[in-house]
């Protein structure tokens, strides 16, 4: 795969505690074709303004706020978020059908993608019963992904380990956005079950979320260009 095509599948997670550092990193990566992911920390620091700065640099933006509230609150918040240059937003699937469907309607009218978070990978199988979930993790992930699909979401965020079964069960068009990606040359950091970029794509991932292997690299642009190696 040529690098620019490959880079279009990479979402760089900007888990960075400074607006200035985030902008500098974005400038380094500009023109590569990759996406940027803005999470809660950077959003709390910079709000929607920074998203528009990134947009001017030519990036597609995934705003990872994982909304989860009553349907009216989520819908009204979405109406505000879609006025920015964001391209993809997410909600927690456990907010239920109505919350997802109303959020999706707002996003789709504004020509934005919306995806759902199924089960947080930080929550191991042993923890699910403590919040009243009796199913095993994979069953619960599938149940929530199917509910998201029925509510017209475009896809889900899921562990790359779950990509194969989700691809099989949810069809070829469903977006699978997968973190937990490490090229063979990089540190695992605190990720435990990791897949390489080519393994994740082979398992059916649409987009790969990659943070520290790029953001902590001495030369982030070079790290991005070497990701497929």
- Smallest gap from Cβ 33 to ligand C5P, in A, equals 18
- Smallest gap from Cβ 72 to ligand C5P, in A, equals 26
Number of residues assigned to the chain? 229
Query: Residue 15: exposed, middle, or buried by beta-carbon count in 10 A (0-12, 13-18, 19+)?
Result: middle
By CB under 6 A, the residues from 141 to 170 that bind ligand C5P are 157, 159
By CB under 6 A, the residues from 194 to 213 that bind ligand C5P are 209-212
Angle, CA 178 vertex, CA 176 and CA 182 arms, to 5°:
145
Separation CA 195–CA 60 (nearest Å): 24
- Smallest gap from Cβ 47 to ligand C5P, in A, equals 18
Q: Where are the alpha helices (DSSP H) in 58-188?
A: 71-81, 97-109, 137-150, 163-170
Question: DSSP character for 115?
Answer: E
Between β-strands 207-210 and 175-178, what pairing exists: parallel, antiparallel or unpaired?
parallel
Among 33, 95, 155, 179, indicate the residue that binds ligand C5P (CB under 6 A). 179
Q: Residue 66 catalytic?
A: yes
Query: Closest CB to ligand C5P among 1 and 40?
Result: 40
Query: Closest CB to ligand C5P among 110 and 128?
Result: 128
From the candidates 66, 112, 113, 146, give the one annotated as an active-site residue.
Answer: 66
Told to check if 98 binds ligand C5P by CB under 6 A, we report no
Query: Closest CB to ligand C5P among 84 and 161?
Result: 161
CA atoms within 13 A on the CB side of 111: 2
The two three-digit tokens of residue 159, written as one number: 């562990």
Among 140, 161, 191, 196, indicate the residue that binds ligand C5P (CB under 6 A). 191
Which single residue is written with the structure tokens 């896809």?
155
Separation CA 176–CA 159 (nearest Å): 9
By CB under 6 A, the residues from 4 to 43 that bind ligand C5P are 13, 15, 39
- Smallest gap from Cβ 180 to ligand C5P, in A, equals 6
Active site residues: 66
Contacts to ligand C5P by CB under 6 A: 13, 15, 39, 120-121, 157, 159, 179-180, 189, 191, 209-212
């Amino acid at each position: 795969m040529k690098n620019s095509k490959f880079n279009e599948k990479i979402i760089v997670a900007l888990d960075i505690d400074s607006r200035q550092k985030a902008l500098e990193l974005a400038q380094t990566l500009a023109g590569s074709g990759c996406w940027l992911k803005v999470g809660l920390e950077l959003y709390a620091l910079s709000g929607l303004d920074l998203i528009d700065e990134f947009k001017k640099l030519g990036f597609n933006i995934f705003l990872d706020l994982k909304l989860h509230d009553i349907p009216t609150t989520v819908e009204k918040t979405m109406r505000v978020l879609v006025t920015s240059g964001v391209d993809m937003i997410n909600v927690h699937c456990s907010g239920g059908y109505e919350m997802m469907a109303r959020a999706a309607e707002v996003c789709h009218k504004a020509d934005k993608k919306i995806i759902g978070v199924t089960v947080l990978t930080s929550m191991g199988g042993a923890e699910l019963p403590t919040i009243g979930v009796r199913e095993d993790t994979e069953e619960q992930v599938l149940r929530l992904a199917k509910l998201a699909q029925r509510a017209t979401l475009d896809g889900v965020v899921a562990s790359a380990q779950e990509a194969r079964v989700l691809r099989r069960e949810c069809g070829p068009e469903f977006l699978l956005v997968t973190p937990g990606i490490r090229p063979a040359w990089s540190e695992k950091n605190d990720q435990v079950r990791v897949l390489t970029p080519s393994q994740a794509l082979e398992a059916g991932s649409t987009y790969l979320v990659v943070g520290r292997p790029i953001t902590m690299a001495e030369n982030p642009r070079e790290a991005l260009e070497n990701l497929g190696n």
